[in-house]
Chains A and B, each alone.
Chain A
Amino acid sequence: MKAIRAFLYRLSGLFDGQRKDRELEEELEGHLQMQIRDNIRAGMTPEQARRDALLKCGGLEQAKEAYRDRRGPQALETTLRDLRHAFRLLSRSPAFTLVAVLSLALGVGANTAIFTLLDQMVLRRLPVKHPEQLQMIWTTGPILGSNQGSRASSYPMYQDFQQRAPAFSYVFCRYYTPLSISLGNQTERVTGELVSGNYFQALGIGPALGRVFSPGEDDRVYKGHPAVVLSYPYWVARFGADAAVLGQKILVNNYPMVVVGVSAAGFSGVDPVRSPQIRIPIQMKPLMTPASDNLGDRRRQWVQIFARRKRGYTMQSAQASLQPLLSEILRAELESPALRGISKRDRDRFLARKVLTESAANGYSSLPTSYSRAMVALMCMVFVVLLIACFNVASLLIARAAARQKELAMRLAIGASRGQLLRQLLMESAVLAVVGGAMGLLLSVVMVRGLLRFLPTNGMLATLRAEPDWRILAFNTALAIGTTLLFGLAPAWQALKVDLWCTLKEAAGSVGGNRGSVRLRKSLVTAQVAFSFLLVAGALLFVKTLLNLKEMNSGFRDIDNLITFQIDPARSGYSLPRLKAFYQQVLESVRSLPEVKSASYAWIQVLSGREADWDFMIEGHPAEDRDTQAYVNGLSPGYWRTMGVPLLEGRDFEDSDVGGRPKVAIVNRKFASDFFGYQSPIGRHIGMGTLLREKPDTEIVGLVEDSLYEGPRQGVRRQVFFPFPQMNQPVATTFYVRTSTDSNRMFDTLRRKVMGLDATMPIYEMKTLEDQLDETLGTERLSATLSVAFGALATLLAAVGLYGVMALTVARRTREIGLRMALGARQGALLWMVMKEAFGLLGIGLALGIPCAYLLGRYVSSQLFGVVAADLGTAAVASITLTAVAAGAALVPARRASTVDPVQALRRE
């Protein structure tokens, strides 16, 4: 109690110091005067009285000082003094301060940025009830049907799992799809999710308003639940958080539905990077994706299954319990008419399908897994950068403390306490760390924004926040402060322990500090070299990969003059015939533009990672022999001319190739050579599916040169193309327009043309095919750019470190060098003597770095393309780069050593 009172009193002492000083002076003056008066009364002369009083009372200034110390809170006051002192000292050596602060800022900033994104994409758990119980379920092996999206299952299979899986309290499913919403006259595209009725219950998510779906109310009647649950952010952004939205009728894909509720705030779904804006019961699927009703079809996989594990099961035991169930389902499926009569080989492969599961505690990220792998690799790299930065600061601090040893000894000798000096040294480190951390924060804000631009757009990353994460920033700053304090303290401690007399007496040795600190700095530099090698080699691998992918011949010509955009009239309620007519109208309207050389459309957008693949029957090739899978697309006439892919044989599709006419197809060269060798494929027949009871009914009429499909990484696929009108799935369509002028100026013109036909039709993803390719290579671009930046940064930091150590060594050995020169050593020899030491450090660093780089390369090997982890060229280039940089850094001090004036050096104290 007394202590607290005293402390508060002292705190108040911080303020109004001048008035209190005046009062003290007055009090002390009064004291003195009274003493003088008493002395005079005792019979002294005024002169004597004054002298005696001053002696008796003691030093006036010391008294004031002691009083002031007592007045304010002591720790705070001295801290402020140390702080001022630290700032003064640091500003006196701006180069040191700049390097140290920048090192820390770059390290902390880059780390915070990368970790912030990674945390949101990969590391964070879903904000739902007991996320650790969630598990994603999918199956592998031949479907004997079609598949859409990754880890998809058929809806009936979901139902089987939901009803019969013993290990789970809930099994639920979802299907992500874009939807269009009409409110009044406005149509807009939103991201939607079709979900099973138990979706919200299983995740433990309630409504913020109205209600969410329940199995009883929203999962009973086929096509019978026209209900919409809005996501919280969408409700706020689109409807201004107005409660009147409940019961409102809206058109979803032109079908009237009712808003029944808003899901809880903070809930974004099971995909951390792609958050749907509205959710609809999955029973509405046929109405939401026109012309494809898959709900009852076991041969079409499209829903993603998630489940909540019961207590008492582990991930493994839960997965194991599903396998017998899957086998049972598959045996039953084989009995269905759709699969009757398949070959023995297909039958065995089908029955061998496996069920797989994975923890969904962090959700299922629709970003390709390559993103998270690349992110983990980048995370390791950036952490190494932070380490190098910290080592640099440590090395600088050690050097500084060593250089100040004499000064410290002097201050100790004239009466400073060790504690005081230690406090001051620590304060200096702390100032560095805090300023570096603060700059790191600023940097991380900029960097997160920059990074987000590298990631694919199309509405996907709406949920990623661009603000740096405070916890991560705090961690990194703490690490920076910790390192700085530790390495600021260690040499300080060492400096203060030394024998005063010896240090003051010592002459040349004091320049470079003692042997211990030099050895410590040398090991730090060795580690920096090793780390730098790791980063430079990694960067080279990523850059090579990107170049290999970019330079790969796409098969398409002049892709920067090729515009692509998408429309999806089916979602605006167009019927099938109207839709086909509309595509034709768009095509004609666009072709009428003078700047347009040619135009066409296709079912699947190329170079975007999307795909569709079927199994085929091929005339002359019994299905049981081999895999007959091929990748398909549906095309309008004129596609090949627009894309600039040569037609090798036969003919392109014509306007007369429509439904009801003989079915035709075009195949690419890879398909033809795989199945027909050197013979012409023209006139042969193929058929969709592998069922022997049907005769191949589609005639091959054309052969085209190979071109890329999903993207460069996947390479050239075996491909079959059909006339768009003969396909039975007229979904979203991609238009391709080849222009004769600058493509970027054509975007608005094209937009107006389409709007002229239907003003409410949304047009999306308008860009050149080259932009599309760049976007598809986003991960690679991100990895390459960042790793190069990190590698350069690391090398720079290591060079600074090496320079520092070599300069120190030379300074320490100046006398010795002078002596050698006096005895006749040549300049070249001295230069080499210093360089040899630098190369020694470099050699050890490289020896450590090379195996580490190999391991890192192995980890990211799935990310690499056309280059292997143990790439000798890469290792050589990285080694040469580092050697060159190291030589440059060591040359300056080496030259200084070789030009030492022996007389000066020997005379030097």
Chain B
Amino acid sequence: MTNKMDVWQGTLALMVLKTLETMGPLHGYGIARRIEQTSGDLLAVRYGTLYPALLKLVQEGSISVKWGVSDNNRRAKYYALTRAGKKQLENEARQWGQTTAIIARFFAPSEQDL
């Protein structure tokens, strides 16, 4: 089996939101594939993690859900970003940027090193 990482808890929501922002309404499978692709197939999204995360976002009102028809003619749930979700994405993206920047500083060689 390939050495794929399970997606980290907490970051999945952000990935879902970003995916929906870029791709527009999408069904669960589509979201999972898109995340895997974007990660360069380094991440594996199992539905045991994906669907509870989607439900949480629906419950919080960040995304909405509608039944639609998938490209293989099956009934499928389509998820779309809501206005609240957009705002949440902006916030979290900014926070994420800050967090990574801070973490990065710890690992970047600096003039005050030891």
Contacts and interface: CB of A to CB of B under 8 A. Distances in A.
Nearest to A2: B60
A24 B48 CA distance: 12
Interface in A54-113: 55-60, 62-63, 66-67, 69-71
B76 A30 contact: yes
Contact of A31 (B47, B56, B61): B47
B44 A30 contact: no
A56 B59 contact: no
Interface residues of B, number: 26
Contacts of B76: 27, 30
Interface string B41-58: 000101111011001101
B8 to A, nearest CB: 16
Contacts of A35: 29
Given A31-B32, A35-B29, A58 B46 contact: yes
Interface in A133-185: none
A57 B32 CA distance: 10
B47 A30 contact: no
Given A34-B70, A34-B72, A6 B51 contact: no
Nearest to A61: B48
A59 to B, nearest CB: 6
Interface in B2-41: 27-30, 32-33
Contacts of A753: none
A5 B64 CA distance: 14
Contacts of B1: 55
B105 interface: no
Contacts of B51: 24, 27-28, 63, 66-67
Contact of A57 (B46, B52, B59, B72): B46
A353 interface: no
B41 to A, nearest CB: 11
B77 interface: yes
Contact of B29 (A26, A34, A66, A71): A34
Nearest to A71: B55
Nearest to A62: B48
Interface string B85-105: 000000000000000000000
Contacts, number: 72
B52 A6 contact: no
A217 interface: no
B72 A70 contact: no
A44 to B, nearest CB: 15
B58 A27 contact: no
A71 B56 CA distance: 8
B64 to A, nearest CB: 12
A503 B28 CA distance: 47
A66 B72 contact: no
B70 A56 contact: no
A659 B71 CA distance: 123
Interface in A15-49: 23-24, 26-28, 30-31, 33-35, 37-38
B32 A6 contact: no
A641 interface: no
A9 interface: yes
Given A26-B75, A70-B55, A2 B61 contact: yes
Nearest to A60: B47
Interface in A741-793: none
A71 B1 CA distance: 32
B51 to A, nearest CB: 5
Contact of B47 (A9, A10, A33, A57): A57
A664 to B, nearest CB: 100
A359 B96 CA distance: 72
Given A30-B76, A33-B72, A34-B70, A58 B48 contact: yes
Contacts of A6: 56, 59-60
Interface in A586-639: none
Given A2-B60, A6-B60, A66-B52, A30 B46 contact: no
A5 B27 CA distance: 23
Contacts of A2: 60-61
Nearest to A70: B52
A599 B49 CA distance: 98
Most buried by B among A27, A56, A66: A27
- Most chain-B Cβ atoms within 10 A of its Cβ — which of A60, A69, A70? A70
Contacts of B48: 58-59, 62-63, 66
A9 B55 CA distance: 10
A63 B49 CA distance: 7
Contacts of A66: 48-49, 51-52
A63 B60 contact: no
Contacts of A70: 52, 55-56, 59
A67 B52 contact: yes
A62 B60 CA distance: 23
Nearest to A63: B48
A71 B30 CA distance: 22
A6 B61 CA distance: 8
Nearest to A24: B51
B27 A69 contact: no
A588 B48 CA distance: 101
A58 B55 CA distance: 18
A30 B59 contact: no
A659 B70 CA distance: 119
A67 B55 contact: yes
Given A31-B29, A34-B29, 10 more contacts: A2-B60, A6-B60, A27-B28, A27-B51, A30-B29, A34-B72, A56-B44, A58-B46, A63-B46, A63-B51
5 contacts: A6-B60, A30-B70, A30-B76, A57-B46, A57-B47
Interface of B: 1, 27-30, 32-33, 44, 46-49, 51-52, 55-56, 58-61, 70, 72, 74-77
